[in-house]
A and B are shown apart, each in its own frame.
Chain A
Amino acid sequence: MKRYLIIWLRMTLNSFQTILASRFGIIIFIFGKLLRFGLYLTFIYFLYTGTKGVVGYDRNKMLLFLLNFSFLGAVGQMLFREAYRFRTKLVSGEFDFDLVKPVHPLLKNLAGGFDLLDLLTMPVFIYVLYKVLSLINFNTSQFIFYGLLFMNGLMIMFAIHVSVLAFGIITTEVDHLVMVYRDLETMGRFPVDIYREPLRQFLTFAVPVGIMFTFPVKAILGLLSWQGMLAAFILGGLSCYFSLRFWNFAVMKYSSASS
């Protein structure tokens, strides 16, 4: 475990150096990310000048859904950015070199490209999230469940990225699939209650955007039943287990055809 941590830190340091080599790019991306974030907040603010509530949620609650989505999404992208570069390695045969090293190939191909840009935007997300949370009434247990479900969401995100990489090994198609996931993820920007059935059930349990993004906020608002929480944790555990099984299956099928 200690060895893996040292390797991850080394890879993270390398990733920082690569990103810092293009300082102008950092400014553009951070400006773009914060602008997008700010425009969404502005949109929600002005939307509620014309309407009192959307599917029963007032302005602060809707902002909380949006902020939780932005924060969790940014944490996921920060940790798993390397997945977006996997296809190039597959089609060029570079992936062969990762397989012969005495480290699990997922470490490098999933977590080897820690994204400094997302880390730099994080303080803004955390500050605004803290401000909105201070406007909402909740108790300690609700906050603890929020934290646990947030981590559970991150686990599901890990499982989805592993599955995308595994699918990539079999089909060499990664880029668009990971972007399809990102688009599906954006459906969690607002509570899944806005979608009508059967799409709502699909987004809650099949994708499962609802469990990742809507459930933590519902927990802190005291709107989530214990059955819902139990289902979320079971699904989180199962998704990790099956994604790793799928990865092992895919690696066995890897033919190294392009190398």
Chain B
Amino acid sequence: MRKYLTVFTVSWQNGFVYRLNFLLWRLRSVIVIITVYYFWDAVFRNGGVIFGYTRDKILTYVFLTLILRSLILGQRSMDAAGEISDGRLSNYLLKPLNYHFYWFTRDLADKLLNMAFSVIEIILLYFILQPPVFLQTNIFILIYFLLTVILAVILNYLLGNASSYFSFWTPGNAWGFWFLYLVFQDFLGGVAFPLDIFPKAAYGLIMLLPFPYLLYYPANIYLGKISGADIFQGFIIMLFWIGIIIWLLRQEWRWGLKNYQAEGR
């Protein structure tokens, strides 16, 4: 356990070495949120209810995604793809540590760093944008929300690593799989827009995929738009996907290592 704590500390410190890089990275997140925020602000400029959202709820949704993006989607483990591609993985295979836990620990450090900065951004954006905030007071909903966030962190880590491990077979296309994953994250995860604007049949199909459970689902639990049996169903689907992807990751790792040739070393 101590070695992972050291990995965590080193990773945290690493974030402060390239300070300009990190600040520009955070600036990018803010730009994305401002774009989405103003788009929905324009859509609801005349008030009313669209797709079941009032202006207050949609703007809370957008603002909530700012916080959840840092916590759930912030990760460093995409670098694992590069390590496999250029043979740096060999260094880790010789060390007495679990490669999956190593990246999970680095991800956690990155999330904490991003969260710390996003608190500052949230305060600043709150005063600049002055969004109408919907405060959830139901303690049960808040507990469900917290549970889904924890599961979403795990799900995102697993999905990201599953993308990275394809590099065992196509080392030159490491970024390609990540690019695809990011497209799914943005559009089917609820970053670009809430998914319930789609017709019911399409929405039902999308909700069977793992991506909506990264941001859309936790955010809507908080807003109280998902309740009762739908919460239970969501948990089952999340756990199902976590199980499937853990199995897939194991197979990828097992077969990938057999295929690994340490190219570039």
Cβ 8 A contact of B31, one of A40, A46, A50, A180 = A180
Chain B residue nearest to A185 (CB atoms) is B31
Bound-state CA distance A21–B173 (Å) is 11
B176 pairs with A29, CB closer than 8 A: yes
Binding-face segment, A5-13, A153-161, A190-198, A246-254: A190-198
* Chain B hits for A51, CB < 8 A: 43, 50
Interface string of A173-200 (1 = CB under 8 A from B): 1011101100110110110011110010
* Chain A hits for B50, CB < 8 A: 50-51
Smallest beta-carbon distance B6→chain A, Å: 27
B179 pairs with A189, CB closer than 8 A: no
B192 pairs with A43, CB closer than 8 A: yes
Binding-face segment, A31-39, A90-98, A137-145, A211-219: A31-39
A189 pairs with B20, CB closer than 8 A: no
Given A55-B42, A179-B28, is A186 in contact with B35 using a C-beta cutoff of 8 Å? yes
- Flag whether B92 is at the interface (Cβ < 8 A): no
A55 pairs with B176, CB closer than 8 A: no
Smallest beta-carbon distance B111→chain A, Å: 19
Binding-face segment, B99-107, B148-156, B193-201, B256-264: B193-201
Given A39-B187, A51-B43, A54-B43, is A25 in contact with B172 using a C-beta cutoff of 8 Å? yes
The listed residue with most B CB atoms (<10 A of its CB), out of A24, A36, A184, is A36
Please report whether the interface of chain B is mostly helix, strand, loop or mixed according to DSSP: helix
- Flag whether B119 is at the interface (Cβ < 8 A): no
Chain A residue nearest to B192 (CB atoms) is A43
Given A43-B193, A176-B25, is A186 in contact with B177 using a C-beta cutoff of 8 Å? no
- Flag whether A171 is at the interface (Cβ < 8 A): yes
A28 pairs with B179, CB closer than 8 A: yes
* Chain A hits for B227, CB < 8 A: none
A24 pairs with B173, CB closer than 8 A: yes
- Flag whether A238 is at the interface (Cβ < 8 A): no
**Count the B residues whose beta carbon is within 8 Å of the partner chain — how many?**
33
Given A43-B197, A173-B20, A183-B28, is A189 in contact with B35 using a C-beta cutoff of 8 Å? yes
* Chain A hits for B198, CB < 8 A: 42, 46
- Flag whether A258 is at the interface (Cβ < 8 A): no
- Flag whether A227 is at the interface (Cβ < 8 A): no
B176 pairs with A183, CB closer than 8 A: no
B172 pairs with A22, CB closer than 8 A: yes
Smallest beta-carbon distance B120→chain A, Å: 18
A47 pairs with B173, CB closer than 8 A: no
B35 pairs with A25, CB closer than 8 A: no
Bound-state CA distance A132–B149 (Å) is 41
- Flag whether B54 is at the interface (Cβ < 8 A): no
**Count the A residues whose beta carbon is within 8 Å of the partner chain — how many?**
38
Cβ 8 A contact of A187, one of B35, B41, B180, B183 = B35
Given A31-B180, A43-B193, is A173 in contact with B173 using a C-beta cutoff of 8 Å? no
A176 pairs with B21, CB closer than 8 A: yes
Chain B residue nearest to A191 (CB atoms) is B42
- Flag whether B39 is at the interface (Cβ < 8 A): yes
Interface string of A44-56 (1 = CB under 8 A from B): 0011001100110
* Chain B hits for A25, CB < 8 A: 170, 172-173, 176
Bound-state CA distance A171–B43 (Å) is 40
Bound-state CA distance A42–B251 (Å) is 35
Bound-state CA distance A35–B177 (Å) is 13
Smallest beta-carbon distance A230→chain B, Å: 27
* Chain A hits for B21, CB < 8 A: 173, 175-176
- Flag whether B51 is at the interface (Cβ < 8 A): yes
* Chain A hits for B94, CB < 8 A: none
* Chain B hits for A24, CB < 8 A: 170, 173, 176
Among all A-B residue pairs, the 7 with the closest Cβ atoms? A176-B24, A28-B176, A194-B42, A25-B173, A183-B31, A39-B187, A50-B50
Residues of B at under 8 Å CB distance from A?
Answer: 20-21, 24-25, 27-28, 31-32, 34-35, 38-39, 41-43, 45, 50-51, 170, 172-173, 176-177, 179-180, 183, 186-187, 192-193, 197-199
Contacts beyond the supplied A25-B173, A25-B176: 12 A-B pairs with Cβ under 8 Å? A22-B170, A22-B172, A24-B173, A25-B172, A28-B180, A39-B187, A51-B43, A54-B42, A179-B28, A180-B28, A187-B34, A189-B35
CB<8 Å pairs between A and B, sample of 21:
A24-B170, A25-B172, A28-B173, A29-B176, A32-B179, A35-B180, A35-B187, A36-B186, A39-B192, A42-B198, A43-B197, A50-B197, A176-B20, A176-B25, A180-B27, A183-B35, A187-B34, A187-B35, A190-B39, A195-B38, A199-B38
